[in-house]
Amino acid sequence: MSIKSKIKIGIFGGSFDPPHKGHYFLSSFILQKLNLTKVYWIVAKKNPFKKKTFFSLEERVKKCKNLTKQNKNIKVLFLDKKLRSSRTINILNHLKLTKKKSHFYLIIGSDNLISFHKWKEWQKITKISKIVVLSRKGYDQKARKSAIVKYLNKKNIIFVKNKKIDISSTIIRNRLKK
């Protein structure tokens, strides 16, 4: 079965703490740019590299659903409870079993590509999905020289030039703390 005949699903995971219009803009952009069928926002209970979240899981899922409700091609999922894990490899393995006729595109920022080799079973992730790297201010050059890029040797990795987003969950949390 060729990629053209498969359902193309973008996987955009994170704690979304909180979700913002930048997440929505990038999801809408990547849907069109790569001609994806859907983008799944996979809300994690907690980022494995951070100690705690600012907003509760329930608040984050609700905010994600409110933010994406006008686009039927963006679907918000919380799978941690069902899978007992928020690890990307476990989510992809689950989706591979439940969405057999699908091809997966893991959407990450260039900042995340730099530390991607620290993710659990990152080599398997690159076999299950294409890695779609979105541009993040200050990270792109370092990302293009990362260990993952050398490992993949231009296979299964797509660098996307997107409009730089001047908002982040960190900026929003810092503003709310004041």
**Residue 86: per-residue pLDDT:** 84
CB 38 within 8 A of CB 67: no
**Residue 4: per-residue pLDDT:** 55
Q: Residue with structure tokens 């409870």?
A: 81
Task: Compute the distance between CA of residue 166 and CA of residue 11 in angstroms, rounded to an integer.
Answer: 22
**Residue 170: per-residue pLDDT:** 77
**Residue 3: per-residue pLDDT:** 52
What's phi and psi for 109, nearest 5 deg? -85, 160
**Residue 5: per-residue pLDDT:** 61
Question: What's the Rg (C-alpha) of the chain?
Answer: 16
Q: Which three-class secondary structure state does DSSP give residue 129? A: strand
Burial class (CB in 10 A: 0-12, 13-18, 19+), 88: buried
Averaged over successive runs of 10 residues, the pLDDT of the chain (178 residues) comes to: 73 93 94 97 83 90 96 94 89 93 95 92 96 93 93 90 79 79
pTM: 0.90
**Residue 173: per-residue pLDDT:** 82
